[in-house]
Chain A
Amino acid sequence: MSQRFKLLEICRRALSAFAVVTAVVPIYLLIKQAFSVELDSFAWPPRWIPHHLTLEHLHKVTSTGELRESLIRSAEVATVAACTATLLGTMLAYAMTRDLRARRWGLAALTASRLLPMIAVALPLATVLIRVGLYDTPSGLGLALVHAAIALPVAAILLLGAFAKIPLELEDAAFLDGASQLTILLRIYLPQLKQALAAAFVLSFLSSWDEFGFGLLLQPTNRTLPPLIYYYAVFGDVGAASALALVSTAPVLIVLVALRHILIRQPKPPAF
């Protein structure tokens, strides 16, 4: 083996090791802390293997009112945000495939909205939400709308790609075949957009589920999960924070498993 290839091999291994360490170690630590007693977590020198396992933190998370509430709130916010972003994104993408001007302006607007620093719009947004009575509500609707707005560009651009693959003549053909607008949407477009809709929904859901900054600012008392985990960690209950963080990964897994058939493209038999 030449000198160059050896160097390449070393770099490759180093990179792999780095990836494993940065990805696996935090997850391991998270799991370990979620199931070990407080003393183990703070032991010095740190212990890689916990000495005493416990379900105490997990139990606390599921039984404490505040934690359960914020878990449910986060799920609600993410669901509403994902539904809204996907629905609006679909409408936007449809308009953009039909109308060249809509496409130009739409893409410009979507890009521009992503360029703004989020923190710059956070305060004005809080003011608006206070005025319309959606600030720090128990349902988290205001935050959900903000999350939908953040997720909208990605959802719309993702769906635009899917719409672009559907020839316009398909709609004309269905129209001539006697289909109504609703039938065209439900029976012609929807079946072909399944994958993109699922992807848009999942991405919007995750971006909302994981969002910290706006959650912190817009829901100071009726908290969502990420700020709550932060509070617990800051105020010293690392075990509960870890258990909560572990629980927060569950919906992600559930969504991914539920939609795996749609998200993973099935290979088609070849045409000839």
Chain B
Amino acid sequence: MAELVMRDVSRIFRSGRGVRNLSLTVEEGEFFVVLGPSGVGKSTLLRLIAGLDTPDNGEIEIGGRSVTHRARPDHTVAMVFQNLALYPHMSAYENIAFPLKMMGLGRREIEERVRRTAALAGLEIDLNRRPSQLSGGERQRVALARALVREPRLILMDEPLSQVDVQLRSVLRVELKEFQRRTRRTIVYVTHDHDSAFVLGDRISVMHEGRIAQIGSPEEVYRRPANLFVARFLGHPPMNLLRCQVAESGRGLWVNDVRLELDPPDGESGELVLGIRPQDLSVQPEFGAVKLEVKVESLEYLGARYLVRARLGNQALLVELPRSLQPGQIAHLYARADRFHFFDATSGERIGQTHDKASTVTKG
């Protein structure tokens, strides 16, 4: 059953930022990640779902009931804020108990539910301590427990992991994913960090300028980006995007004056944008049938691999290789034909097999 449905929702601020004609559906028990650069409308989206803001247009439903014009939030939605928004003058226990107190529950029941929820959120600390006396990870768990304690249908998270250091973040991320898998809560998680999105999300919605650029599983959005924005935004180093011309015959491509023996999608002619990820290129001929002749310009040592900056025609190309090349040298790179992406040069939309599932993309 669909837990959250948004239909054609708009909320546009005077600055021009906000959310435009946005529609999406989140299934019950799903970990849904909204991914996008900052200022793209992710937080607005979350505030609309939470009821902290009202849409200009459109409908929002939670659990089958319209909540578009609710006067105040009910107990169906809880939120974990970016800065966690723990009440600094209350102990961890009082923080978690606060929503229950507002519900008017008795002391016995509050105590029982706080203890249970704290355990569920993995809190093994003295709950009488204040937020300022807790570590970053403990604060995260207190914030999670406070969101969980009312047993909401929907938990919203606004980059709650962005303020802890990288190592702790990856630990907490796995923990959160594990927690969601175990409890099957419906979570909408907003982030600008695509590592978090990939680790956490059952599905990812990539946002661009207040709209959804693509919704799909992490594999789908990574392997089959629906447009140039998604192609550029996901993956690091980013996908190489080269302007190219379809050859007169309709077979083969020209990247400036370099010819590639790669067939464009059927029926395409004129200018296209060709995409290839830096990891999908190799110096070994058996790696793929498409050969690219490039000029090596410079190298960066990344530890496990080298990042090679090269030129194909007069366009820059990034390649990740396990071994180093000589700057100035002409190198031959190989890639599989199915690893190339094609985009319309004017609209930026993906061309060919867009709605095809990942089945045509063989793993390797």
Contacts and interface: CB of A to CB of B under 8 A. Distances in A.
Interface of A: 167, 169-170, 172-179, 183, 188, 191-192, 268-269, 271-272
A268 B85 contact: no
Interface residues of B, number: 27
B132 A170 contact: no
B73 A192 contact: no
A179 B88 CA distance: 16
A269 B73 contact: no
Given A178-B73, A191-B89, A271-B132, A173 B102 contact: no
A177 B102 contact: yes
Given A169-B85, A170-B87, A176 B77 contact: yes
B132 A177 contact: no
B103 interface: yes
A174 B72 CA distance: 12
A176 B88 contact: no
Nearest to A271: B132
Contacts of B81: 169, 172-173
A175 B83 CA distance: 16
Contacts of A170: 85, 87
A173 B52 CA distance: 10
B87 A176 contact: no
Nearest to B135: A272
B19 interface: no
Contacts of A175: 52, 72-73
Interface string B63-94: 00000000011010111011101011100000
Contacts, number: 56
Contacts of A169: 81-83, 85
21 contacts: A169-B83, A169-B85, A172-B50, A172-B52, A172-B81, A172-B85, A173-B81, A174-B87, A174-B98, A176-B52, A176-B73, A176-B78, A177-B98, A177-B99, A178-B75, A178-B99, A178-B102, A178-B103, A179-B98, A191-B89, A269-B132
Given A169-B82, A176-B77, A192-B88, A271 B102 contact: no
Interface string B297-314: 000000000000000000
B12 interface: no
A167 to B, nearest CB: 6
A192 B89 contact: yes
B25 interface: no
Nearest to A268: B132
Nearest to B139: A271
Nearest to B134: A271
Contacts of A172: 47, 50, 52, 79, 81, 85
Contacts of A191: 89
B134 A177 contact: no
Contacts of B295: none
A176 B146 CA distance: 11
Interface string B112-149: 00000000000000000000111100000000001000
B87 A188 contact: yes
Nearest to A190: B89
Nearest to B99: A177
A169 B73 CA distance: 15
